[in-house]
Amino acid sequence: MTELPFSAPRAFTLSDFDFALPPERIAQHPATERSASRLLDGRSLPPVDRIFKDLPGLLQPGDLLVFNDTRVVKARIFGEKASGGKLELLIERVLPSGQGNEVVAHMKVSKKPQSGSTIHMAGGRKRGGFDATLLSRWPDDNGPLFRFALHGPAGESPWELMERHGHLPLPPYIERQQHTGADPNADQDSQRYQTVFARAPGAVAAPTAALHFDDTVLAALAARGIETASVTLHVGAGTFQPVKTENLAEHRMHHEWYDVPLATLAALERCRQRGGRVVAVGTTTVRTLESWARSGQTTGETDIFITPGFGFRVVDLLVTNFHLPKSTLMMLVSAFAGYEQVMALYRHAIAQEYRFFSYGDAMLLRRCGS
């Protein structure tokens, strides 16, 4: 018997996940209604063009939809140094209460202040805002983030200070004028850049695939016998971090905090027992479930990097938006549904003028080989 030559798996590079996207395909505003967005049914080729309201009919009784219930906080705050130089903080996380009013943040400034310096946010404490003392870099002396102690009036917590003085940290490709204080889109963004089931505050970016769900779709899912459950993953600003190395193995993912409740673990077990499918709503839900499946930890930090060749243990179907070229999210969906499948779907979506990124349309994918 003649042995067939061994065929090694393809080694993907960063360039494999690039594609040309016309700028007008980047959605600057949400659809008029959440569930009126388009839905590309990409479970097989050729794909089928649908509306998001069709989703319940595409699933089966006994399936389990898992959402990310994180809530986006008003984490972008503008201020100035003692010298008058302008700066901007994007608060990535609030540290445990035992450490005082301390936060970790990205800092955008022309010349970074020295440790121990006090900066004045939203006008500063004397003008109705608050002050922040730069303590150190984070998580170590060479870390990309900065640790601050916040000083507000009457000992307000970081959560209260963000709610009072902050702005929603919209992605950089959504054009807004937040720093002017006169953004006509602010009211719309405060409602629509938040899911209808957002519960746990801590994200600096929305789990965008879940933005399409409204009460009508949720009621239709329940009527069809489709169970729902939730996890929490606080989406960090690193979700927009570009991959700079052509060799994917050299990229280091950012850390994000996640939690898988006991009720969700029970729902997953019931789903498997009845032969249902686990449907992840968004890449953040995929990362949470697959992190738990590998570590066995229901709560913790994850820096999981999912690229083609990854072995999925939990998720069978995925509802997701269309992602940026060369992004880790493009790599994740390609790992899930198959590289050639995903690239064909993106070509179709561009040709059919789907809307891309956070406020854009969605697609439904099946796990490759399932």
Nearest to 370 by CA among 329, 341, 327, 328: 341
pLDDT attached to residue 9: 62
Say if residues 157 and 164 touch (Cβ distance below 8 Å).
Answer: no
pLDDT attached to residue 5: 47
pLDDT attached to residue 7: 44
Say if residues 363 and 345 touch (Cβ distance below 8 Å).
Answer: yes
C-alpha separations of 62 from 268, 269, 320 in Å: 11, 12, 21
Alpha-carbon distance of 132 to 94, in angstroms, equals: 13
Residue where the block lists tokens 């807004």: 176
Q: How far apart are the first and last CA of the chain?
A: 31
Alpha-carbon distance of 48 to 30, in angstroms, equals: 22
Whole-model pTM: value is 0.93
Amino acid of residue 229: A
Alpha-carbon distance of 297 to 300, in angstroms, equals: 7
Residue 362 sits at the vertex; the CA angle it makes with 361 and 368, to the nearest 5 degrees, is 150
What is the enclosing helix (H) or strand (E) of 151? strand 145-151
Alpha-carbon distance of 329 to 322, in angstroms, equals: 9
pLDDT attached to residue 177: 64
Q: For residue 87, what are its two tokens? A: 């700066």
pLDDT attached to residue 184: 72
pLDDT attached to residue 119: 97
> Average pLDDT of each block of 10 consecutive residues along the chain (370 residues)?
49 96 97 97 98 98 98 96 94 85 94 95 93 94 92 89 94 76 78 96 96 98 98 90 93 94 98 98 98 98 96 98 97 97 98 98 94
Amino acid of residue 108: K
* Domains present along the chain, CATH in parentheses: 14-72+189-366 (3.40.1780.10), 76-166 (2.40.10)
Alpha-carbon distance of 224 to 244, in angstroms, equals: 45
Q: For residue 288, what are its two tokens? A: 């949470």
Sheet with 362-366, strands from edge to edge, namely: 48-51, 38-41, 362-366, 317-321, 278-281, 64-68, 227-233, 256-259, 299-302
Say if residues 339 and 285 touch (Cβ distance below 8 Å).
Answer: no
> Is omega for the bond preceding 207 within 30 degrees of 0, making it cis?
no
Say if residues 49 and 228 touch (Cβ distance below 8 Å).
Answer: no
pLDDT attached to residue 241: 82
